[in-house]
Amino acid sequence: MDHRRRDDTVTEVLHTVFDPCSVAAQAPLSVIDLGLIQGWEWEEDGLLRVHMRVTTSGCTMVGNIMRAIETSLAQRCPEISRVEVEVHPEIFWTPEFISAQGKELLARRRRASQDSKAIRPRQWQDRARPADGKAAGV
């Protein structure tokens, strides 16, 4: 298999590995669309080394994400002898890393949520406050 097809296969597989936090928030984004994957390199012996960043230094799901990447690639790419995912915590993730497709998915999810809940921006400021300045029920 040529290098371009191998890389296309890796990209395709990584589009099926979802960030668990975005899934929990009902706005699932793949590790590619979220911008967690910095790239990868192939070694002569079939080793695929994937370079990844995390959203925060305290991400508790990083082990699960790494395992999902390794398992998915190993199962679906026969030319891979093994996969190693390297996390680079010194490279901080920011929302700018989200792909255009990922940003569109998030925007659609946000619009759907706002439409279904009739939420207005900063609606909490519209609430009347008691004379003592505390919110009701606090």
Q: Is residue 138 part of a domain?
A: no
What is the C-alpha radius of gyration for the chain, rounded to an integer number of angstroms?
A: 20
SS3 labels along 56-93: CCCCCCHHHHHHHHHHHHHHHCCCCCEEEEEECCCCCC
| pLDDT tens digits for range 43-54 | 989 999 999 999
Total domains in the fold of the chain: 1
Question: Is the predicted pLDDT of residue 122 greater than 90, yes or no?
Answer: no
The pTM assigned to this predicted structure is 0.78
- Return the number of other C-beta atoms located less than 10 Å from residue 40's C-beta: 21
Q: Which of 45, 18, 47, 1 is nearest to 105 (CA)?
A: 18
**Residue ranges making up the domain that contains 72:** 3-118
Q: What is the overall mean pLDDT for the chain?
A: 87
| pLDDT tens digits for range 71-107 | 999 999 988 999 999 998 888 899 999 999 999 999 9
Q: Is residue 63 part of a domain?
A: yes
pLDDT score, position 135? 58
